[in-house]
Chains A and B, each alone.
Chain A
Amino acid sequence: MLIKHSPNGADLPFSSEITPQAVYEERRRFIARMAAGALAGSALWEMANRAAFAAPGGPQKLAATLNPAFSAVEKQTSLQDASHYNNFYEFGTDKSDPALYAHTLKTRPWSVRIEGEVAKPMTLDIDSLLRLGPLEERVYRLRCVEGWSMVIPWVGYSLAALIRKVEPTGNAKYVEFVSLADPAQMPGVGSRVLDWPYVEGLRMDEANHPLTLLTLGMYGQTLPNQNGAPVRVVVPWKYGFKSAKSIVKIRFVKEQPRTAWNVSAPSEYGFYSNVNPEVDHPRWSQASERRIGEDGFFKRKRKTLMFNGYSQVASLYSGMDLKKNF
């Protein structure tokens, strides 16, 4: 692959690295406020930010072609940050837990059962999935429902390619993703936070949208275990939890799937969970987000964009009340 990745993804001349006027003005205001009486230590922080990092062990290189049409031209989150700050409750509820405990996950052999309302149900192993479509690299924004975000170069292909292969019947209205739930490999599966296995789902047209990525790698390598190895989906216009990890089953169904977070807290996590700055979470605003590694200490949180900036999906929801169908 021709794309070079530095630890912080900063050696490409992204236009976003030129400080816009609004930002430096914000900084000046910030400095004025600081001078009015608070802590110091910014220089130390900047230095610490450039600390060295080590990639997680055992990843394989994946050859992929950048798909510029589906790639954000933004500063990428470092692989270190993207693989050490994760919500993957099968390995614990702390964000550092997945990086600490996911090494017990056995990602080979691995197979995905595809069944339900399809003409050709099948079981595919990882190698068949890797060969199923030409691998693309897509740099997507990831917006977590908790109010933080990252920019990650994923490797995979449109889920639509897989859907075509299994030939859904007219009864297939939704796609359900079931994640592995093996207490022997996943210490968090014993907890009562969620009903296991983790289930997520999409409406058929959402699943078929070219942006919906069946994902086998990131940063030019196979997925680290803590990021949902060996295969997951990435749905960039929805909050992160909609993108099921470590998938073992894909079911085509008539009824709307009972998704894990929606079952756990229906008033907080809707089935659609499209990124929407106008619909607050009951306990926090969704109007802004903290870009990991960039915002917070010296930069105000950034505005969250409708559909996480992927306005091309808006037509999927025309005529729908997105406040009601949050």
Chain B
Amino acid sequence: MQLDPTPRQLTLIKATLFALALLPLARMTWLTVSGQLVEPLEFITRGSGDWVLYFLCITLALTPLRRLSGWNWLIKLRRMAGLYAFFYACLHFLAFLWFDHFFDLAEMLRDVLKRPFIAVGFSAFLLLIPLAVTSTNGMQRRLGGKRWQRLHRLIYLIAPLGILHFWWMKAGKNDFAEPIVFGLVVALLLGLRLAWRRPKAKPARVSAAKQA
């Protein structure tokens, strides 16, 4: 199936997805202000963290999806997905800084340095910043395609760090179901890239198949 939206259709698709991606924030806000949560602070902290992972997975999924479907326009959604991962990461960080440390930067940093699971999440957040900053067309041009791409490969490190942070958080209660799902999804998405990167391995495999 060939799906090739016109520029106008693409704008519409993007606008729709942009609005949909704000729904988690809208839900958190609504549940908080309507007083339906006993502990809104925990809910916002956990919820924003979950959505960072969702958007990291979506961002990483777009390239393989494009290759498998032949829908080249999918790549035009990648920046927005990545920026939403950053957006929810900012919210997650703000929740940590505000709710846990009441904007006391020194105390927050001590906490980061003392606790590996926070340090890992914090590093992932810091690494996202240069990607968000260089996400514009202008910055891409200024850096040059090659260098830009190299920089943005940081996402291959950021996503596993995010999952490690989540894994560690759940470790105390032996509750690994969710981190395992995220881990498998990211492993698959990164694995596909590795597999597709090795065209040279092909002849060897053909001969192996012949022998069999």
Chain A residues close to B by CB (< 8 Å): 30, 33, 38, 41, 44-45, 48-51, 80-81, 84-85, 93, 95-96, 148, 192-193, 264-265, 268, 282-285, 290, 292-293, 296-297, 300-301
CA gap between A268 and B99 in the complex, in Å: 23
Give 27 pairs: A residue, B residue, CB < 8 Å, sorted on A. Answer: A33-B103, A38-B98, A44-B33, A45-B32, A48-B32, A48-B33, A49-B35, A51-B34, A51-B36, A80-B38, A85-B39, A93-B173, A148-B39, A192-B174, A265-B172, A265-B173, A265-B174, A268-B172, A283-B115, A285-B111, A292-B38, A292-B39, A296-B40, A296-B41, A297-B41, A300-B102, A301-B100
Question: Using a CB-CB cutoff of 8 Å, which residues 16-61 of chain B contact chain A?
Answer: 32-36, 38-42
CA gap between A33 and B94 in the complex, in Å: 13
CA gap between A96 and B34 in the complex, in Å: 17
Assess whether B98 is in contact with A283, with CB atoms less than 8 Å apart. Answer: no
How far apart are B95's CB and chain A's nearest CB, in angstroms? 10
Query: Which residues from chain B contact A30 at a C-beta distance below 8 Å?
Result: 102-103
CA gap between A281 and B43 in the complex, in Å: 21
Chain A at the B interface: SS class: loop
Within 8 Å of chain A (Cβ to Cβ): is B148?
A: no
Query: Which residues from chain B contact A81 at a C-beta distance below 8 Å?
Result: 38
Assess whether B38 is in contact with A84, with CB atoms less than 8 Å apart. Answer: yes
CA gap between A284 and B101 in the complex, in Å: 12
CB-contact partner of B173 in A51, A80, A193, A290, under 8 A: A193
Query: Which residues from chain A contact B33 at a C-beta distance below 8 Å?
Result: 41, 44-45, 48
Within 8 Å of chain A (Cβ to Cβ): is B93?
A: no
Q: How many residues of B contact A (CB 8 A)?
A: 26
If A38-B94, A38-B98, A284-B115 touch, whether A51 touches B35 (CB-CB below 8 Å) is: yes
CA gap between A93 and B177 in the complex, in Å: 12
Assess whether B172 is in contact with A48, with CB atoms less than 8 Å apart. Answer: no
Query: Which residues from chain A contact B173 at a C-beta distance below 8 Å?
Result: 93, 193, 264-265
Assess whether A48 is in contact with B169, with CB atoms less than 8 Å apart. Answer: no
If A38-B98, A285-B111 touch, whether A290 touches B172 (CB-CB below 8 Å) is: no
Residue of A nearest to B95 (CB): A296
Assess whether A264 is in contact with B115, with CB atoms less than 8 Å apart. Answer: no
CA gap between A222 and B39 in the complex, in Å: 24
Residue of B nearest to A280 (CB): B114
Assess whether A193 is in contact with B35, with CB atoms less than 8 Å apart. Answer: no
How far apart are A318's CB and chain B's nearest CB, in angstroms? 30
Query: Which residues from chain A contact B98 at a C-beta distance below 8 Å?
Result: 38
Given A297-B40, A297-B99, 20 more contacts at CB 8 Å?
A: A44-B33, A45-B33, A48-B32, A48-B33, A48-B34, A48-B35, A51-B34, A51-B35, A93-B173, A148-B39, A193-B173, A193-B175, A265-B174, A268-B172, A282-B172, A283-B115, A285-B111, A292-B38, A296-B40, A297-B41
CA gap between A324 and B114 in the complex, in Å: 20
CB-contact partner of A283 in B34, B94, B169, under 8 A: B169
Assess whether A296 is in contact with B38, with CB atoms less than 8 Å apart. Answer: no
Residue of A nearest to B98 (CB): A38
Question: Using a CB-CB cutoff of 8 Å, which residues 161-199 of chain B contact chain A?
Answer: 168-169, 172-175
Query: Which residues from chain A contact B71 at a C-beta distance below 8 Å?
Result: none
How far apart are A224's CB and chain B's nearest CB, in angstroms? 14
Query: Which residues from chain B contact A264 at a C-beta distance below 8 Å?
Result: 173-174
Query: Which residues from chain A contact B87 at a C-beta distance below 8 Å?
Result: none
